[in-house]
Structure 1
Amino acid sequence: MRMTTFLEQTSDPAQWRNSPGYDLGPSSEAGPAAAIGSVAEESASANLTGGNVAFIGAIQRNRRTALLTQVVEAEILPRLALARSAAASQSNATATPTTKDDTGELVRLLLGREPEGAVAFIDLLRRRGVTTASLYLGILTQAARLLGELWNDDRCDFTQVTISVGRLQQIVRALSPNFQVAAVNHPYPETVLLLPAPGEQHTFGLVILSEFFQREGWHVAGGPASTSADAADLVRDNWVDVAGFSIGSASRLEGLGGIIRTLRRVSRNRDISIMIGGPLFLLHPDLVARVGADVGARDAQSAVRQATSILALRTAAD
């Protein structure tokens, strides 16, 4: 199955077809570890006899060590440094925060008849000095959460919430080019698959999460419309480093645990890492162990840091 990029489910076709990393390509399916694996293949195919075995074996071990060191220095350590610097810069960027009243006003405009009001309000916040990262992690995420609460309390119907969340996604698309100006480019980007827990309706957080992973140089696949069957096919046919799930309702726990077990069983990458997040995880961090995940993340920034760190540890252990 061809790997669906996240942009296919959240952007206009002309935008995602021209985006970097639209197709995995053969060089990115196995990631940086492919170079190390090739050494083992060379060793297995070599015709070694007599006293040459120890000498050649030492050369191969030295070469493997050198390649591993090169991968860690060229790929892993720079990403950890970038993640730390991004976290520091974004924490400084919240010097002009939005307020609860701002969130309420944005939701009121999102629920209005015309979409221009919400867009104009976001432009006003930017002129006040609120950064794109702060908008992503703050008012836009909070607005999506408030819309979910209004729906759960029967103060909005499904159609109103769907239209309003769609408007939020349009705002993210408009902000994205500015946010991705500082995006990192890697010759062998890791791949993260982002999707909701089976049956989950709260999916806007995945859109924000995608923005941060793309900015740090990851190839982002999946999307809010991805299904469990899609996910199983994708990890079976493509190399996926991390699968991230969003969950907002306790009624989705059984399905989430089931798809996590399925992904581990069928994944082409036998060491695939599983991450969870979303409104329910924020209330119950112990869900990581209950559903069989590896790690949980409270927001998009911590998700990128967690994913980068876990891959660095696994690479160093190989």
Structure 2
Amino acid sequence: MSRRPSARLLQEGQVDPNKPEAGLVAAFCAAALSTRIEDPAEVLQNAVAHGIGHAALTDNFIADAVRRLGALWAEDRISWTDVTIGTARLQSLLRQMDKGIDAGLAKRPDAPRVMLVSGVDMAHTFGPMLLAHQMRRQGISVALSLETTPGTVCEIFGKTAPDAVFLTASHCDGVETLAQLVKEVRVFNSGIPIVVGGPLLCTETDIARLIGADFATSDLEKALTLCDLRILTARKFVNP
């Protein structure tokens, strides 16, 4: 049974209107755990109204709120159901904010294209969705494939022709499964750069070699540079 958060936990989410950034992470957490489904969107609208920028909201405050929910669960202060539903509600804010991105850049025929793939064992899909959101902000066209299993890469490549493949790997993803995904990508494009990132890099330092990827990093800017996509975005969008 889901344990509702305590009154004190919800009070931690109160935001000082004179200092809108103070307590904003707690405000997002409280909204995600609230019984009112409108609360997360209202916190977001209030933050925007106080001048907090798009990138700061997604990359810092909302992302930190998701991590905070995980910490609350680890501390046994909320249930797994609470953290799952709460994360999904915060994740919905990413989709809402995606609509505010200038889609024209990513839809240009010469826009850099990335296939972002996550395995079936990702506990939550917030991380890959945030990464896709960050790339779209930079004018990169992203094909996001969640809960990808070996044997489905053919279908994905039938819909897109990416310039690079980014593979997110969790602690639960097996090396053999990841290696099979990489192998299937190579069948369609043997020379395409493949970058593996995600939580698994903390324990498998040699993961790129083990699965046949070209690079291993969880730093987006470094990944874009390694795949020469930083050069493409600079040439095509900063100085078109």
TM over 0.5: yes
Verify the 8 A CA contact 2:119 2:148 in the aligned structure 1.
no
Aligned to 1:214: 136
Aligned to 1:72: none
Aligned to 2:53: 131
Aligned partner of 1:247 among 169, 189, 203: 169
Larger of the two Rg values belongs to structure: 1
CA offset digits 1:212-268 (Å, max 9, x no partner): 33333433223334333323442377533322122332x3242453234423442x2
- How far, CA to CA, are the matches of 1:283 and 1:225 in structure 2? 21
- How far, CA to CA, are the matches of 1:152 and 1:248 in structure 2? 18
- How far, CA to CA, are the matches of 1:124 and 1:141 in structure 2? 17
CA offset digits 1:91-121 (Å, max 9, x no partner): xxxxx9956x432331122011112222222
Deviation at 1:199, TM superposition (A): 1.5
- How far, CA to CA, are the matches of 1:295 and 1:216 in structure 2? 21
**Secondary structure of the residue that 1:172 maps to in structure 2?**
helix
RMSD value, Cα: 3.3
Aligned to 1:269: 189
State, as a whole percentage, how many aligned pairs show the same letter: 24
Aligned to 1:106: 28
- How far, CA to CA, are the matches of 1:98 and 1:307 in structure 2? 35
- How far, CA to CA, are the matches of 1:164 and 1:206 in structure 2? 17
Letter in 1 for 2:213: A
Aligned to 1:258: 179
**What count of residue pairs does the alignment treat as equivalent?**
214
**Secondary structure of the residue that 1:183 maps to in structure 2?**
helix
Change (3 A) 1:116 1:264: closer
Aligned to 1:201: 123
Letter in 1 for 2:135: F
Aligned to 2:42: 120
- How far, CA to CA, are the matches of 2:213 and 2:137 in structure 1? 24
Runs of 4+ in structure 1 deviating by more than 6 angstroms, as ranges, are: none
Q: Greater relative contact order: 1 or 2 (C-alpha under 8 angstroms, separation 6 or more)?
A: 1
- How far, CA to CA, are the matches of 1:306 and 1:279 in structure 2? 20
The structure richer in helix per residue is: 1
Letter in 2 for 1:245: L
Letter in 1 for 2:212: G
Change (3 A) 1:248 1:257: closer
Deviation at 1:157, TM superposition (A): 3.4
- The alignment's TM-score, normalised by the length of structure 1, stands at 0.56
Instruction: Give unpaired runs (5+ residues) of structure 1.
Output: 1-95, 313-318
